[in-house]
Amino acid sequence: MDWLRWPPVELVPVGRDDQRTGRVHLPRDQQQAHTTSLITPGAQPGLTWFPRGRTVLNMFTEHVHSSRSRQREETRARIVDAAQRMFMTDGFQATTVRKIAEAAGVSVGSVMAVGDKDSLLLMAFDRWIGAVHESRAAAGAVPVDDPVRNVGDVVQPFLDLFASNAGLAREHGAILARGTHRTAVFGNLATTLIDEFEQVARAAGRGAKAPAAARALYYGYLGLLRAAAVEGADPRVVRSGLEDIAATVLRLD
């Protein structure tokens, strides 16, 4: 086997975790504009060697990668901000990717790298829905006196959100129904809502059955929302339907 040595800088000893990841730390006065190098293990005193095929990153490279990642996140946030504003002021149909690009001060390609118009609408609703969850978490536990009514209270802020702009809510529901785009509504936001339903179910005395009751409430809520979107109904009618489901799901045996 042949051996390759890192060009002219001297490597400093590294710990076990660094050897596992293949990352080399260099003194500040020895940092150079090298990006990567592939080197193989050897046994020369005073040098640290790694197996061939591992990527070795110096501190300069890490800084560059971190800066680029931060710039991408800032650009993404600016694009979604612009899309949210335009959806609210101009409506979904009148908003175009080109207009979003102009409002965000980026190219059309940059917008499309974040997502198409459907994806951007889902991201906008993910933000709005996430803000409701955050404000509720800051307020503390949901008070539980009448479990059925409290289930309705859990979803009421979301129903108010959908009712405040019925046109966007219908577009949002139609995109979800097509199932062609990913959304946090079915990810971490779903987990948060199920946890809130479970809190109500446990307070209602469901005990070990609380997780199953929470999932039943969540899927019932999604079904009612989709039906309301298809029928063009006021999203707030979803509350009465969900409370009917809650009356059965939370009933003590």
DSSP codes joined into one string, 48-113:
----TT-----HHHHHHHHHHHHHHHHHHHHHHHHHHHHHHHH-TTT--HHHHHHHHTS-HHHHHH
Per-residue model confidence (pLDDT) at position 50: 43
Span 70-115: which CATH code? 1.10.10.60
Digits of tens for pLDDT over the chain (253 positions)? 444 444 444 444 444 444 444 444 444 444 444 433 333 344 444 444 444 444 445 555 555 556 778 888 899 999 999 999 999 999 999 999 999 999 999 999 999 999 999 999 999 998 988 888 888 776 665 556 789 999 999 898 888 888 888 889 888 888 887 878 777 667 777 888 999 999 999 999 999 999 999 999 999 998 888 788 777 777 778 999 999 999 999 986 5
Contact 151/246 with Cβ under 8 angstroms? yes
Residue 170 corresponds to which amino acid?
R
Dist CA 227 CA 143 (whole Å): 29
Q: What is the pTM of this model?
A: 0.62
How is residue 110 written in tokens?
């940059």
Inter-axis angle of helices 59-90 and 97-104, to 10 degrees? Answer: 120
